[in-house]
Structure 1
Amino acid sequence: MASVENGLPGEANRILKSLASSWGDTIDGLQVIPLKGAMTNEVYQIKWPTKEKKQSRKVLARIYGEGVEVFFDREDEIRTFEFMSNHGQGPRLLGRFPNGRIEEFIHARTLSASDLCDPDISALIAAKMKEFHDLDMPGPKKVFLWDRLRNWLRTAKSMSSPEEAVAFRLDALDEEIAILEKTLSHDNQLIGFCHNDLQYGNIMIDEETKSITIIDYEYASYNPVAYDISNHFCEMAADYHTETPHILDYEKYPGLEERQKFVRIYLSCSGSNQPSDLEIKQLIQDVEKYTLANHLLWGLWGIISEHVNEIDFDYMEYARQRLQQYWLRKPELLGSS
């Protein structure tokens, strides 16, 4: 079973062979099916017939993207993955190889862009998000957002041509990050273990049980929960499964009523006490302001990705749109700050 036959590294094939053997199968008729929508890694569904040939065995292979180590610490991500797996939060880890891993294939449906607008599904996501944020992840429980922004800005500057630096106003962003950190940080904000990339492709639903599973923890860290919720809202503008997956439509950003409903459900999952109108209003205000940090972060991600990632996606145009939104919304959200 040479890797050239199916596009998988030799180490991945050896793990698959070993897994199949442990399950009493032989890997005959192996199928490798690329899954669309991933923008950091290449993801494949791997299937082969079981010994009885009546059904297929399925696992997921994840090949890490080239150069994406600039975005996160892979060992941290693996530790998070294993913690989640041990706490029944995501797929089990079945094997690791140098540039990827084999995961359990979750028998659930990955959400589509339109699912995020479904009130019933949105309510399930809000509740699941609260559960995720309440996880007691080992390690320091400090906000990581501002360090990440500064690190990514340094990386973007080091990779960009002078023309790109001017076009994206990179020299102005150090000050913008400082303004955001000073304006958005306050003592009573809720801090939790955040996913930080809650787009529809990272959320799965079991149609029978209506249970939600959150997957892909590359960017997960402790952060203000308002930042994570705002990231989810911003992702409603995206559909990564069109002919132009990089184009964002901010007309799809949820209206005030939708945001209120989501936040009310989120806060209601805290316990017996229903959230007050003031708590809901405060979190909604924080969420809106944190959209600015999201636009900056993912704008920088797009610039860096253009230089390190081989995936077919117009990262620069994506970055342009995110940074354009930042400058457009800042006066309205921060006033004269």
Structure 2
Amino acid sequence: MGEHLDARPANGHEHSASSQLRYLDLTFDSKDLDQSALSLAYRIQPKWREGPGKIEITKFTEGITNTLLKLTKHVPGYSQSQLDQDSILLRAYGNNTEILIDRDREASTHALCADRGLAPPLLARFRNGLLYRYIPGQVCTPQDLIREPIWRAVAGRLGRWHAQLPVSKVKNAPHDINGQSQKENGIPTEHTQALCNPASQLPAPNIWSVMQKWIHALPHDSPKHKARKELLQHELDRSFNDLQNDQGPGSSGLVFGHCDLLSANVIMLPKAPNSDAGDKLEVFFIDYEYAVPCPAAFDIANHFAEWGGYDCDYNMLPTKSVRRQFLQDYLDSFKAHSDNPVSENMLEFLCAEVDRYRGMPGFYWGVWALIQATISQIDFDYASYAEVRLGEYFAWRAEESGGRTEKNGEMPLREKRWQEP
């Protein structure tokens, strides 16, 4: 592990949102976890090296992509609150995840969110990760998401997120639809034509261009892989034409979405000591690596899909009435934090639009999992997960087209749950 320290921007872009962020020319090595983590922490907190008190390293296990550690210096006499305030979170990227995630954009997004009080302060970047302040609180579980005080808090926070983060801050040039040059990606031009013209009118990157990039990254070294890639490309083109419009909240129907609001990325904040029992619960969102402009309906439908957790327990999904209440709270918060007017019929529109987008999270994470199955070193059955998630998409398609009814097939559990009042 190198010892060079540099203050330059990690990506070389002088005008990015994270251009002034401290850069540590060090690499985290999971095989030497403790020493790697300490070497990074000492650069941020030099007094930790010699000061009294041990350094505790806690590994979080909720994620299936990255390594997340909390480093706490147990200074004698400090309260737990003081210890947490000085603690550092270290997030090291998963193997080859740059295929899926633009790490420069992630750092810029984190800095943008922190500037608006929507993310913990960034402390530094290093070669394969980020260091940032710890947010005291309790990580949610899928079981927590179905509790009314929590889903109402999530709805309010998401409304604020979508209202306060400007889509205009997304870097547009000199990238193509995929956020990278076609020359860099080696992407055949003919494969981008279906999405290029309409999507080129949207800020790039966006949720559609990200999915396009992922499909280009899929293996095509066998007839089976090639056929699957062609099918997914067809479905992406079809979905863009069917779903994308400029009618939702935000700029031209787009908001700056989190796009990964699973339970582990929702933190329940502790109540203040002098708070009343009736005070509303507050939540905080973490991990912004998938944040990108998208229709609000996609971000919300994606969050609803996460109520089932990695096990995809569809009995946990919100019913129609719960979704409507969530969307009302979301819109109330959006209007409270935005200067842009919201139409009177926006609640009805969003209820229908989230309905229409309910299959797209399965497509999004299904393609993602197909790539992870080829690159990840984490012990998780990505291939099976991909089939389950893509199955959600095709079940939605069959329901929308009437194909299931024509074949006298049984309605899948996920679709049944979605129809419940």
Q: What TM-score do the two structures reach when normalised by structure 2?
A: 0.70
Pair 324,60 (structure 1): closer, same or farther in 2 beyond 3 Å:
same
How far off is 1:327 after superposition?
1.2
Q: Could you list the runs of 5+ residues in structure 1 that have no partner in the other structure?
A: 239-245
* Mapped contact 1:17–1:27 kept (Cα < 8 A): no
Q: CA RMSD in A?
A: 2.8
How far off is 1:148 after superposition?
1.5
Matched letter for residue 180 of structure 1: S
CA distance in 1, matches of 2:285, 2:79: 30
The answer to whether 1:186 aligns with 2:245 is yes
* Mapped contact 2:136–2:270 kept (Cα < 8 A): no
Matched letter for residue 142 of structure 1: P
Cα deviations across residues 88-147 of structure 1 (Å, max 9, x unaligned)? 211111222111122111111111111110111111111110111111251356271221
Aligned to 2:24: none
- Which of 73, 84, 89 is matched with 1:48 structurally? 73
Pair 37,47 (structure 1): closer, same or farther in 2 beyond 3 Å:
same
How many residue pairs match? The answer is: 325
Pair 13,170 (structure 1): closer, same or farther in 2 beyond 3 Å:
same
Equivalences for 1:225-264 in 2 at 5 Å? 225-238=296-309, 246-264=310-328
Aligned to 1:145: 207
Aligned to 2:378: 311
Equivalences for 1:1-337 in 2 at 5 Å? 7-8=32-33, 12-22=37-47, 26=51, 29-50=54-75, 52=77, 56=83, 57-134=86-163, 135-137=165-167, 138-139=169-170, 140=172, 142=203, 144-158=206-220, 162-163=223-224, 169-190=228-249, 191-209=254-272, 210-238=281-309, 246-271=310-335, 276=344, 278-334=345-401
Pair 263,25 (structure 1): closer, same or farther in 2 beyond 3 Å:
farther
CA distance in 2, matches of 1:41, 1:5: 11
Cα deviations across residues 32-74 of structure 1 (Å, max 9, x unaligned)? 2210111221101112211547654522111111100011210
* Mapped contact 1:20–1:27 kept (Cα < 8 A): no
How far off is 1:307 after superposition?
1.0
The SS at the match of 1:189 is coil
Pair 314,165 (structure 1): closer, same or farther in 2 beyond 3 Å:
farther
* Mapped contact 2:256–2:294 kept (Cα < 8 A): yes
Aligned to 2:415: none
* Mapped contact 2:114–2:122 kept (Cα < 8 A): yes
CA distance in 1, matches of 2:258, 2:161: 8
Pair 183,53 (structure 1): closer, same or farther in 2 beyond 3 Å:
closer
Q: What TM-score do the two structures reach when normalised by structure 1?
A: 0.87
How far off is 1:11 after superposition?
6.2
* Mapped contact 2:297–2:350 kept (Cα < 8 A): yes
CA distance in 2, matches of 1:27, 1:164: 57
Matched letter for residue 202 of structure 1: N
Q: Rg bigger for which structure?
A: 2
Between the aligned residues of both structures, percent identity stands at 26
CA distance in 2, matches of 1:49, 1:187: 52
How far off is 1:161 after superposition?
5.2
How far off is 1:153 after superposition?
1.2
* Mapped contact 1:203–1:215 kept (Cα < 8 A): yes
Cα deviations across residues 274-319 of structure 1 (Å, max 9, x unaligned)? 974x432221121122122211110011110111111111111110
